[in-house]
Amino acid sequence: MTKAVFIDGEAGTTGLQIRERLAGESAIQVLSIAPAKRKDAEARKTLMAEADLVVLCLPDDAAKEAAALASSLGKDAPKIVDASTAHRVSKGWVYGFAELNTEQAGKIRAAAHVANPGCYPTGAIALLNPLVAAGIVPRDYPISVNAVSGYSGGGKAMIETYEPTQTAPSFELYALGLEHKHVPELMAYTGLTRRPIFVPSVGNFRQGMLVSIPLHLDTLPGKPAVAELEATLARHYAGSQSVRVIEGAAATLARLEPEGLNGSDDLELFVFGKPSWKHALLVARLDNLGKGAAGAAVQNIKLMLGLA
């Protein structure tokens, strides 16, 4: 039986990407709203009532309003995947990173409300959650997360500074007030109790992402070796179709570029290290529009509709 999906905010970057991916799914019918009625609450509510699932691709405040609008339908309310940051740490919402642990995919399947992960947190959480859960990285350990994304991660406003006006710099750090809205999400799903330092940046390329986390191994309990970090990640993601630990990367790679997974919904994890210095570097690579946004949303949609 065909399932109906309404993308509220389909004209945005993530909405367009989700629609494009769903176009190839024969078991899903995408409901569309006339452009002139995209902000018409009654028109949107009508489509929500017809849908099995609604995807929210809206700014945070608008996403909260849309979720309330859908909930007002009572027994006819659709399931919701929220691609904004509005509900990622909210009670009653399941976090949409299916590979978080062995139970998470089942929780997503059973959920009425799922919060899609952020692109930066996807990489950092994928790297840190297994290490914190294993006790290798203490919950109160001081962590720094450095990351670079293609400019599409900033949405329409940022894209317009690169395309077509070309007024943006080749590279820039941002959120230098150290109050980025991804930090609560990052803490909630890594298990960290000490607020990490998160330093995002953007480069003059459309999409692709690297997230890196340096570690001083001799300051960790048990002074783990690089191989132990890699093995712990490999065990955690064994059998995963989209998350891969690239074992032995420290011996084979001297450089890593962020666009290597563009166009895919994959996530690659690397552990680099220098045993003599007791240093390690955790790195995640993903397409910020793939596993970092639309790809994860489609994965969650399929789980919630019983199609995966």
pLDDT given for residue 40 in this prediction? 93
pLDDT given for residue 187 in this prediction? 97
pLDDT given for residue 106 in this prediction? 98
The answer on 275 and 128 residing in a single domain is yes
The answer on 75 and 133 residing in a single domain is no
The answer on 183 and 124 residing in a single domain is yes
The answer on 203 and 101 residing in a single domain is no
The answer on 224 and 166 residing in a single domain is yes
* Residue ranges in the chain whose pLDDT is less than 50: none
The answer on 186 and 69 residing in a single domain is no
Whether cis (ω within 30° of 0) applies to the bond prior to 224 is: no
Query: What residues are labeled active site?
Result: 119
According to DSSP, the residues that pair with 144 across neighbouring strands are 197
pLDDT given for residue 163 in this prediction? 79
Q: Sort 9 into a burial class: Cβ within 10 Å, 0-12 / 13-18 / 19+.
A: buried
Residue type at position 109: R
Tokens linked to 306: 């019983």
The answer on 277 and 183 residing in a single domain is yes
CA distances (Å), 70 to each of 12, 31, 44, 76, in order? 20, 15, 9, 9
Tokens linked to 88: 């990622």
Nearest to residue 158, comparing CAs of 207, 124, 199?
Answer: 207
CB 202 within 8 A of CB 150: yes
- The enclosing domain of 179 has a CATH number of 3.30.360.10
Q: What's the pTM value of the predicted model, to 2 decimals?
A: 0.95
- The enclosing domain of 65 has a CATH number of 3.40.50.720
Residue type at position 243: V
The answer on 52 and 108 residing in a single domain is yes
pLDDT given for residue 125 in this prediction? 98
pLDDT given for residue 283 in this prediction? 98
CB 18 within 8 A of CB 297: yes
The answer on 98 and 124 residing in a single domain is no
Count CB neighbours of 184 within 10 A: 14
The dihedral over CA atoms of 162, 211, 301, 76, expressed in degrees to the nearest 10, equals -80
Angle at 226 between CA 223 and CA 232, to 5 degrees: 95
Number of structural domains the chain divides into: 2
SS3 1: coil
The answer on 178 and 96 residing in a single domain is no
Distance between CA atoms of residues 149 and 117, nearest Å:
15
pLDDT given for residue 191 in this prediction? 97
The parent domain of residue 297 ranges over 3-117+293-304
Pairing, β 197-203 against β 144-150: parallel
pLDDT given for residue 156 in this prediction? 75
pLDDT given for residue 33 in this prediction? 93
CB 200 within 8 A of CB 211: no
pLDDT given for residue 261 in this prediction? 97
pLDDT given for residue 189 in this prediction? 98
The answer on 130 and 107 residing in a single domain is no
Angle at 255 between CA 250 and CA 260, to 5 degrees: 105
The answer on 156 and 84 residing in a single domain is no
